[in-house]
C-alpha cells in the first residue's frame, strides 16, 4: 500500500475549508480536465456521513467509474472517504482540518493500492504515486483559491 500526505495552509476559517472539501460541485470543477463527473449517488452539494457518490473519470486515456462512501466524519475536523467499487484494490482518503489563528491547515492522508499484486505495486511506486500527488495538489489549490476569496 502507498500513502501520500499533503498539507495545505489556507487563509480561511476551518468550517469553510471543511465544506469546500466536501463539495461535489467544486470537486467536479477542479477535475474538469480529467473529465470527472458525478454519475450516481449524491449528485450535487455537500456530501455527508454515510452518503455515496459515483464518479466517472478518464485518467491515462482509460475511462472508469468509482464509487466512494463517506465512512467517518466529525465536523469540521475530519472526514474519511473510501472506495467501495472502482479501479483500486484499496483507496482510503482521510481529510483533516486544524484551525491555527486565521489559517486552516488541511491535511490529506491518501492511502491506495492498485490491483494485480507485484505488477500493481510496481505501477504504484514507478508513476501512480507521483501522478496522484500532482492531482491532489491541484485539487487542493482550487480549494485554497476559492476559500481565500473575500
pTM: 0.94
pLDDT recorded at residue 35: 85
Domain boundaries, the chain: 2-147
Q: Hey, CA dihedral for 111, 116, 118, 121, is it positive or negative? A: negative
Q: What is the pLDDT of residues 29-88, one digit of tens each?
A: 999 888 899 999 999 999 999 999 999 998 888 899 999 999 999 999 999 999 999 999
Q: What is the pLDDT of residues 9-28, one digit of tens each?
A: 999 999 999 999 999 999 99
pLDDT > 90: what percent of the chain? Answer: 85
Q: What is the pLDDT of residues 107-131, one digit of tens each?
A: 999 999 999 988 888 889 989 999 9
Q: CATH number for 2-147: choose from 3.40.50.150, 3.30.530.20, 3.30.1490.100, 1.10.10.10.
A: 3.30.530.20
Amino acid at each position: 500500500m502507498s500513502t501520500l500526505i499533503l498539507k495545505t495552509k489556507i487563509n480561511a476559517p476551518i468550517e469553510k475549508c471543511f465544506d469546500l472539501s466536501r463539495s461535489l460541485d467544486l470537486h467536479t470543477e477542479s477535475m474538469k480536465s480529467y473529465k470527472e463527473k458525478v454519475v450516481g449517488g449524491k449528485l450535487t452539494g455537500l456530501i455527508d456521513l454515510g452518503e455515496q457518490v459515483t464518479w466517472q473519470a478518464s485518467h491515462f486515456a482509460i475511462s472508469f467509474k468509482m464509487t466512494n462512501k463517506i465512512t467517518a466524519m466529525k465536523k469540521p475536523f475530519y472526514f474519511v472517504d473510501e472506495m467501495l467499487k472502482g479501479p483500486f484494490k484499496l483507496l482510503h482518503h482521510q481529510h483533516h482540518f486544524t484551525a491555527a489563528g486565521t489559517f486552516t491547515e488541511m491535511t490529506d492522508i491518501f492511502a491506495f493500492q492498485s490491483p494485480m499484486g507485484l505488477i500493481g505495486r510496481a505501477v504504484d511506486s514507478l508513476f501512480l504515486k507521483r501522478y496522484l500527488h500532482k492531482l491532489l495538489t491541484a485539487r487542493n489549490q482550487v480549494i485554497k483559491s476559492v476559500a481565500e476569496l473575500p
